[in-house]
Structure 1
Amino acid sequence: MTSFGLRTLPYGSFSTAQDPRPRVGVAVANQVLDVSAASAQLLPAYAEVFASGTLDALLAGGPDVWATVRSAVESWVHDARARAVLHAHFHAADAVRMLAPFTVADYVDFYASEPHATAVGRIFRPDGDALTPNWKHLPIGYHGRAGTVVPSGTPIVRPRGQRRTPEGEVVFGPSTRLDIEAEVGFVVGTPSTLGEPVGLDDFDQHVFGIVLVNDWSARDLQAWEYVPLGPFLGKSFATSISPWVVPLAALEHARVAPPVRDVPLLPYLEDGGMPPWGLDLQLQVRLNGEVISEPPYAGMYWTPAQMLAHLSVNGASIRSGDLYASGTVSGPRQKQAGSMLELSNGGREPFPLQDGTTRSFLQDGDEVVISATAPGAEGTRISLGEVRGVVHPSRPST
C-alpha cells in the first residue's frame, strides 16, 4: 500500500483478517486509522456517518460535515494524547484488505486532454481533422456502466466481442488490442436537484475528492462499434479505481490555472474570472514494474468544474456516489501518453521494454499500476495513491 504521510489523510473502506466487517479508514503514513471506531469514541455525534463501513454517508453529508470530520482527524493524528487514546484503532497498512470505498451511483467519462484527443483523432481518423468541431466548445463525454467500476486489484478478464479484421471480416473473440487509460476521477458528495444545473462556482460544494482511474479499453471492439453512438462494449467490461479517496481539501496547493483556451466559451463554461480548478497532478504508469509513461494532469484543457457544469447544464441531477472521470491524461511528449494506443502509434510502432520484449497492447499476465502525486505545503509532494490491475485470459462463452 502507498504511504500517504500525515497531510493527505485520504478515506477508504477496509477490513482485517481478524474482523471481516467493512470499516471506514483514514491512511496515516504506513497505518490505517479505523475511523468507524475512533469516531464512536472521540466524535460520537458523527459516529453514524461511518457506521456502514463505506464512505456513502460521509459523501452525502456535505461540505460542513466533510470539514468537521477532517479537522477532527487532523487533530487526532497530530496530537500525541489523542493518538495514545486511539492506539488500538490503528492498523498496519499491509495488514488490511482494501474494499470498494463507496457505492458508485452513475459513471461518466470525459475526453479532456487535448494531446490525447489529437493523437487518437489522427489514429482513428487519419484523413480527417484530429479534433472534432465541438471539442473546444464543450467537454465531450459519455455515460459509462457504474456496475463495472471495480476497486484496485480486481482481476481484469480480457473481454470478448465483435471486431473487424484488417481484411474487413467481422469476427467474434477475445480482444487483441486491450489497452489502458490513465485518468483522474471525481467523486460527487452533495446531490443536486433535477432540473437545476450546477454552476462552476459550486464545484467544491458538490465534489468531495478524487480517485485514480484506469479505464480499460478494448480498442478493436471500440473501433468497430463506436460509430455513430460512441463507446459501448469496448469500455464497459471494467473500470478500476484506487481504494483511497483523496479529499479536495488536501489539494489546496495543487490548484493551477488551466491552459489558455483559444476558442471563446459560452457563459456557463467561462471560468476566466474564477479561482482556478486546474490541478497540478503528476501521474505515473508502470507496466510489469517498469515506468512507461508519466502523464501531467496540469495541461488538461477542461477542468473538473467545467465537466460538472456541462454534465448538469441540461438539468440532469447528480447523486451522492456519482463518479466522473477526466478521460485519458496525456502530455505533448511521447513518454507522457496515458494510453498504449498513443505509445505505440495505434499499434504500428511497438515500444521496447527493459526485459527485451515489446508491447503495442496488453498481454495476458501484464500488471498495470497507475500512481500520482501532487504539490503539498512548503514545497512538499503528497501521494494520491495508486490503482492496479492484472490482465487475465478471456473466458469462453457458455
Structure 2
Amino acid sequence: MAPLASWLDIDPKSHFSIYNLPFGIISTSGESTPHVAVAIGDYALDLHAFAQQNGFSALSIIQPHQQVFSQPTLNGFAALGRPMHRVVREYLQSVLLKDGPFPDAFEKNKQLQKAALKPIEICKMHLPMFINDYTDFYAGLNHAYNVGVLFRGPQNALQPNYKHLPVGYHGRASSVVVSGTPIKRPNGQILANPTAEVKEPIFSESKKLDIELELGCFVCKPSSLGDPVRIADAPQHLFGIVLLNDWSARDIQAWEYVPLGPFNSKNFGTTISPWVVLMDALEPFAADGITNDTQVLPYLNEKGPKSHYSIDLSVSLTTASGNTSNIGKTTAKNLLFSFPQMLAHHTIGGCPFNVGDLLGSGTISGESKSEKGCLLEQTDNGKTEISLEGGEKRKFLENGDQVTITGCCGTEDGALVGFGECTGKIEPAVKISF
C-alpha cells in the first residue's frame, strides 16, 4: 500500500502509522484519571480531550457516545460494535491526513493539537480493557507437536483431538497485567527428582520459569447463556489484538497438569501489550494459517476466508547485566485455528461471553529452532542452553531478566501496523517460611 501523508511528523519506521491507530488507556500528570487514546507516531492522541474540544465535530454518529472516551477502559467503546470502530478510526485517519477533508477539525486547530497530542513517553499506560474472563488456547501446531515430542515421543506428540478442535483451558483474568508490570517468580510444588520411584514433591520457587509468545484477542460483542456464536458471525464479536506473554513455571506445571491441566504454573501472571490493534487495521494483512489436514466439523468450518494475520513476531531477553539478545522470531501465521474458530468452539455448548473477555492463541512457534516461542522448546526442557550476548547462557529465566515481545505487520515505511512492546521483568519469589 502506498503510504498516506500526515501533517503530523511521524517516523516512517513507527509501529503506529496512520494506517494503524491502535486504541489504549493513558493517564498523565495533568490528567491522572485513565482515559482513552490512540497511538500515532510518538504521540498519544488523547480522545478525552479531543472529544471535549469538539474534535468529532464532523462525525455526528459518534457524538451521542463521546462519553466512552472519558472512561478508564475501552469496554464502552468496544461495545459500540465493529461498524462504529470502523467509522471512528477512519475519521481519525481523515483528520490526521495532510490536506484531508476536515482540515479545520485538527490540522489547523492549534489549540486542539496542544490539548490532545501527548508525547507517548510522558503517558502512563494502563490495562486497556476490564477483563471479565480469560481463556488460553493451544492453537500453535508446531509448539504443540514439539512439546508433545518432549514428553510423549513423536508417535504420540499430538492428542487425537488436536486437529479437530481448538484445545484450550478456562484460565483467570485477575493476574492479566499491562506491559511493564514486574512478574514475581512463583512458588509451588515441584518434583526435585522426577526419575525417583516414589514421587514426592517439595515446596520451592520455580526453577524453570518460561515465556510463551502468544497473541490475545478481545471480545466486543456479548453473547447469551445457551446461545452459540456462529462461525460466520464470530468476526463481528472481535474487537482487536494485543501481544501476550503467558508466563509459565514448567516444573510446577509438570507435577500438577495431570489430569486436569495447568493451574498454579500459569495463573501468576499474563502480560499484554497496552495498545489494541483493531481488526480493521489488520484486514490488509489477512493470511492463511497452518493448513489443517483434518476436516473439521461444520460449526468450525470458515469456508475459505483468511482469518489469520501476517504479523512478524520477535522476542528479546535483556539480562540484569544489560545485554540484550534476540531469542526468537516467528509469524502469527503459525496457528492452526483462528480467533473466530476459538470463539465459535468456546460458545458451542452455550458458554456466554462479555465485552472485554480475552482469548489467548497459545504459544506460536515455527518449525526451526530460531522460531520457537518458548524456552521449553529452545532448550529441550533444560537439556541444552541458549547463548546470549556477552557470553551469558540460559536454560530458563533468571531473576532480573526482562523479556520483550514485539510484533508488526508490513515492511513499507510509513505504512507499518505494529503493536509496540509487551515487556515484563522477573523479580525474586516471595520468601515463605513454615
TM interval, shorter chain, is: over 0.9
Q: Does 2:69 match 1:50?
A: yes
Report the count of equivalent residues: 396
Give how far 1:380 is off: 4.5
Q: For the residues of structure 2 that align with 1:340 and 1:259, how far apart are their CA atoms?
A: 22
> Which ranges of structure 1 fall in alignment gaps of 5 or more residues?
none
Moved more, 307-316 or 194-203: 194-203
Please state if 1:172 is matched with 2:211: no
Moved more, 82-91 or 239-248: 82-91
Q: Tell me how far 1:71 sits from its aligned partner.
A: 2.2
The whole-number CA distance in structure 1 between the counterparts of 2:65 and 2:91 is: 11
For residue 37 of structure 2, give the secondary structure of its aligned residue in structure 1. strand
Partner of 2:11: none
Q: For residues 221-260 of structure 1, what are the structure 2 equivalents within 5 Å?
A: 221-260=252-291
After TM superposition, give the deviation of residue 147 of structure 1 in Å. 0.6
Q: Spell out, residue by residue over 1:182-216, the C-alpha distance to the aligned partner (whole angstroms, 9 max, x if none).
A: 10000000111211111221122100100100000
TM-score normalised per structure 2: 0.88
Task: Check conservation: 1:188, 1:208, Cα contact below 8 A.
Answer: yes
Kept in 1: contact 2:328–2:370 (CA 8 A): yes
Partner of residue 200, structure 1: 231
Greater alpha carbon shift after TM alignment, 302-311 vs 44-53: 44-53
AA matched with 1:225: E
Offset from partner CA, 1:139-198 (integer Å, 9 cap, x none): 000011101101111110000000111244410011000000010000000111211111
Q: Distance in 2 between matches of 1:229 and 1:306?
A: 23
Alpha-carbon spacing, 1:143–1:121, altered in 2? closer, same or farther (3 Å): same
Corresponding residue to 1:25 among 30, 37, 43: 37
Distance between the aligned counterparts of 1:386 and 1:162, measured in 2?
A: 32
Is structure 2 residue 115 aligned with structure 1 residue 96? Answer: no
Q: Is the 8 A contact 1:188 1:321 kept in 2?
A: yes
Percent of aligned pairs with the same residue? 40
2:125 counterpart of 1:113: no
State the distance in 1 between where 2:154 and 2:298 align.
Answer: 33
Please give the residue correspondences for 1:136-147 in structure 2 after superposition, counting only pairs within 5 Å.
136-147=163-174
CA distance in 2, matches of 1:379, 1:5: 6
2:245 aligned with 1:210, yes or no?
A: no
Find 1:77's aligned residue among 73, 93, 96.
96
- State the partner residue of 1:284: 314
Q: Are the aligned partners of 1:112 and 1:328 in contact in 2 as well (CA < 8 Å)?
A: yes
In structure 2, the residue matched to 1:191 is 222
Q: Deviations over 1:198-239 (max 9, x none)?
A: 122112210010010000000000110000000100000000
Q: Which whole-Å CA distance do the structure 2 matches of 1:361 and 1:252 have between them?
A: 36
Q: Which residue of 2 aligns with 1:274?
A: 304
Q: Stretches of 4+ moved more than 3 A in 1? A: 376-381
Deviation at 1:90, TM superposition (A): 0.3
Q: 377-386 or 238-247: which moved more?
A: 377-386
Shift of 1:127: 8.0
Rg comparison, structure with higher value: 2
Distance 1:324 1:364 in 2: 28
Residues 161 and 172, structure 1, Cα contact 8 Å, conserved in 2? yes
More divergent stretch after superposition (326-335 vs 301-310): 301-310
**1:153 equivalent in alignment to 2:153:** no
Question: Partner of 2:355 in structure 1?
Answer: 320
- 1:356 Cα shift? 0.6
Return the offset for 1:381. Answer: 3.5
Which one of 110, 113, 119 corresponds to residue 87 of structure 1? 113
Match of 1:212, SS state, is: strand
Contact 2:20 2:416 in 1 (8 A): no
Are the equivalent residues in 2 in contact too, given 1:251–1:376 (CA < 8 A)? no
**Is 1:263 the counterpart of 2:299 in the alignment?**
no
Distance, in Å, in 2 between the alignment partners of 1:394 and 1:304 is: 34
**Is the CA contact (8 Å cut-off) linking 2:231 and 2:344 kept in structure 1?**
yes
Report the RMSD for the aligned CA atoms in angstroms: 1.7
Measured at CA, do residues 114 and 3 of structure 1 come closer, stay the same or move farther in structure 2, by a change above 3 Å?
closer
- Tell me which amino acid in the other structure corresponds to 2:341: Q
Question: Alignment partner of 1:295: what SS?
Answer: strand
Amino acid at match of 2:29: A
What's the TM-score, normalizing by structure 1? 0.96
Out of 327, 336, 339, which is 2:374 matched to? 339
What SS class does the counterpart of residue 365 from structure 2 fall into?
coil
Question: Does the 8 Å CA contact 1:54/1:102 hold for their aligned counterparts?
Answer: yes
Ranges in structure 2 where 5+ consecutive residues have no aligned partner:
1-13, 57-62, 319-323
More displaced 10-residue stretch of structure 1: 258-267 or 280-289: 258-267
Q: Structure 1 pair 342/87, CA: closer, same or farther in 2 (3 Å)?
A: same
Asked if the contact 2:133–2:357 (Cα under 8 Å) also holds between the matched residues in 1, the reply is: yes
Q: 1:61 aligns to what?
A: 80
With over 3 angstroms needed to count, the CA separation of the structure-2 counterparts of 1:39 and 1:18, relative to structure 1, is closer
Q: Distance in 1 between matches of 2:416 and 2:21?
A: 13
Separation of aligned partners in 2, 1:275 and 1:378 = 28
Matched, 1:351 2:348: no
> AA paired with 1:52?
Q
The CA deviation string for residues 52-71 of structure 1, in whole angstroms up to 9 with x for no partner, is: 13201011111232123212
Deviations 1:231-273 (A, max 9, x none): 10000000000000000010111111233221111001112x2
Cα distance in 2 for partners of 1:59, 1:385 equals: 20
Change (3 A) 1:112 1:185: same
Q: Deviations over 1:331-385 (max 9, x none)?
A: 0000000000011011101111121111110000000000001137899542122
